[in-house]
Each structure stands twice: as structure tokens, then as C-alpha cells.
Structure 1
Amino acid sequence: MKRIAALAALVLLPLAACSSGPEEPSVTASASEEALASEAAPSEAAPAVAPASDPKVLGLEGLGDLKIGQPVPKGSSWASRGAQESDSCTAISSPDYPGVYAIVTEGKVRRITLGANSTVKLAEGIGVGATEGDVKKWFAGFREEPHKYEAAPAKYLTAPNARPGEWALRFEIKSDGKVGLIHVGEMPVLAYVEGCG
């Protein structure tokens, strides 16, 4: 029980140190974000907290060897696969992490996104397909914003103080009340609603 409380504190402590920022749209169609994360039947969230050493656990610092704020590791399986690529912003993926993609700007990873085909979860067991209630049990106080492309009750739940230079968490809740995407990263890229182009 102490380990669960400690893990929750480690996740929530950095989130509380963040501040809000405006959403910054990109030039790509909104369907590209869902396409990058692959649309498939979401799975139910696991109730137990996964160990931090598990390579299939997304943390505020990153996923496996892919770290927020760092360059893509040389020799890793993460690479651009032509989905969204430009001089200023690139989406990368790895065959080792189906349903996951990352956004790279200025040569550094700025956001990692879990999509429908992903088996990766947060340490709390929250993954794509979890309910909004499950999210709020672990992440109470997250800022709610209307979803840009889906009718209410769809929404974004963002760490209360997300700001540039701080790692934060953002959930996209779909109109069925379930998590459609989970993002970890830095503002303003954390709040991009259309991937990058």
C-alpha cells in the first residue's frame, strides 16, 4: 500500500507544478492523430499499479528508452515512418510499441501518445479504454476542456498546471466516456489536437 501511495505521489507531484497554456493547433487533419495511434477496440484498464521498471509503462519521463526532452536514442526502433514529417515536427513510432507514437520537435521528444492498439499503460493501470471515472480516481483536479472534434461529454483532462518545460499528462475522453488517447509531454506540444505536419 505504501508503494502505491509513493507512486501516486511521484506522478501527482510534478503535475501539480505545471501551469496552463493555450492549445496550439497544427496543420494536419484531426483524423491523423487517431490514425497514428490506430483505431481498434480499446481494452479495459487494469486496476493494479504496474512496476516502474516494466517497459510497457508510460511515465512522465517517457517510455522505455524514449525520454521526454531528449533526442530519439540512436539505434532504437523509434523512427519516422512517413506519417507526419517536416523540418519542424515529426511523428515517430516503433514496432515494439503498437498504437504508440511520439512527436519530435527541435530534435527532441516532446510528447508520447498512447492510442487504441496500445497495451502500454500508466503505472496506475490506466490505459486506453479506461473510464473517465477511473482516470478521476487517480488524477482528481485535472482541468476539463471541451473536445475540439467530438460532442460532449467528450473532453480533454489536463494536468492542472501544464506549462512549457514541465512534463505533464493529458487524457482525451471520447463521447462514450472512455479514454481514447493518453499523452505525456511538454506544452505546447502536449495540447496539440491534430498531431503535427
Structure 2
Amino acid sequence: MKHFITIAPLALLAACSFNAEPDPAPADETETAAPAQPAEDQATAPDKTAPAKPAPADKTAASPNILTLAGLGDLRIGQPVPEGSSWSAEGAQASDSCVVLGSPDYPGAYAITEGGKVRRISIGKRSKVKLIEGIGPGATEAEVKDYFAFPATPHHYVEAPGKYLTAPNAKSGESALRFEIDSDGKVSQIHVGTMPTLAYVEACS
């Protein structure tokens, strides 16, 4: 009787252990796959490896026949004439400190340097150079005033309606515009530069 009682609990324990379902294995969080990107999204997703598109070219800087407040061609207001430039001293000079320059690339245009730096660039009636607005020598005073409401002062040599139209910011020493209006009411010259050179009426004076 004692022998039977000892074996029965052991048999019962073995049966319970054999029939018990094993615990599910813990999920491995590191192996969880990310949801696949829809085909449509993959097609429209930006390619981060592709190079960015270049910025649009500056048409003003690229055109050799546009006069700006910065300058004309390789000439820059307030800077020396670059080495190898087509601009060079033209004719007899009034002084060593003030030099008038011309260029075969820009007929009808001239520049003035003082202290070794470009102080003014001027275009006349033979010049094909224009402002970015399309205004050049030969434009009417009315066409100028469509873009530039500049105050007028009497012309040094030409009777009315001859006059000068000078940008107000010229007084501050910044590069500025100045138009010469002839007796026919049309632009005879356009100047860009800094005072006092901008207002010279005869080359270096």
C-alpha cells in the first residue's frame, strides 16, 4: 500500500508536464520588418542623391551690352581696370590722376578712372549699349520718365529742353544714373558712376 501511494503522484506530475503547451517565444523587436512603401510612393519620392538644379543665369551679368550701376563688361565702378581688359587710355589725357578710357569692343562708350579706379562709364549716340530697361541714347525724355522720376537740372551747354536727370542717391556717394537730354528732347548720353565724377561736363572736369 505504501508503494502505490508513492508512485501515483509522480505519474500524475509527469502527465501534466507532457500535456502542457509551451509558452510562445517572445517577439524579437529588432527583426520587425518595416511596411513596404507603396509602388506609387516609390515612383514619386524625390531622389535625394540627384544634384540640385543650377540657379537661373543672371542675364544682366551675361550680356556685354547692358550698362548697370555695377558697371559694363569687365569694368566695375569703384574697382581698377582688370588686367588684359580691352579698355585703355584714349587720346591725350588731361592729367595723370584722371584718365579717359575707350574700348574697341564698345564704340560710342568711354570710361573715366580717378585714383586708379573706375569712377564713371558713359554711353553716347553711337553706342549699342542700353540699360536693362531697354533705354539707350536716342530714347525720349518721356521714355526715361516712365522708369526714372529723377529731378532735372539745367544742361551746361544745351538750352531748354536740354537738361540733366540725375538719380537722387548720387548725393550719397553710391553708384548712380545720370541722363543728358539734348535740345530735341532725346537722350544724348547716359552716365553711371559716383560723384563728383558723375557730374563732370568735360571728361575729367
TM exceeding 0.5 = yes
1:160, CA displacement in angstroms? 1.4
Deviations 1:119-156 (A, max 9, x none): 0000000000000001000102x120000101100000
Q: 5+ residue gaps in structure 2? A: 1-57
Match of 2:95 among 72, 78, 86: 86
The residue number in structure 2 matching 1:194 is 202
Going from structure 1 to structure 2, the CA distance change for 1:78 and 1:164 (only over 3 Å counts) comes to: farther
More strand by share: 1
Q: Which residue of 2 aligns with 1:73?
A: 82
> Is residue 69–residue 108 contact of structure 1 (8 Å, CA) maintained in 2?
yes
Residue type of the alignment partner of 1:98: P
Q: CA deviation at 1:161?
A: 2.7
Q: Structure 2 counterpart of 1:155, which letter? A: K
Pairing of 1:25-64 with structure 2 (within 5 A): 51-52=59-60, 53-64=62-73
Given the alignment of the two structures, is residue 143 of structure 1 paired with residue 151 of structure 2, yes or no? yes
After TM superposition, the structure 1 = structure 2 runs for residues 157-168 of structure 1, keeping only pairs within 5 Å, are 157-163=165-171, 165-168=173-176
Q: Distance between the aligned counterparts of 2:94 and 2:172, measured in 1?
A: 22
Percent pairwise identity:
65
Find 1:115's aligned residue among 124, 130, 135.
124
RMSD of aligned C-alpha atoms?
1.5
Instruction: Kindly provide the amino acid, as one letter, of the partner of residue 61 in structure 1.
Output: A
- Mark the structure with the bigger radius of gyration: 2
So what's the TM-score if we normalise by structure 2?
Answer: 0.69
Contact 1:172–1:182 under 8 Å retained in 2: yes
Quick one: which amino acid aligns to residue 194 of structure 1? E
The number of equivalent residue pairs is: 147
Higher helix share: 2
Q: Which runs of 5+ in 1 are unaligned?
A: 1-49
The yes-or-no answer on 1:101 pairing with 2:97 is no
Q: TM-score, normalised by structure 1?
A: 0.72
| Rounded Cα–Cα distance in structure 2 between residues aligned with 1:131 and 1:81 | 30
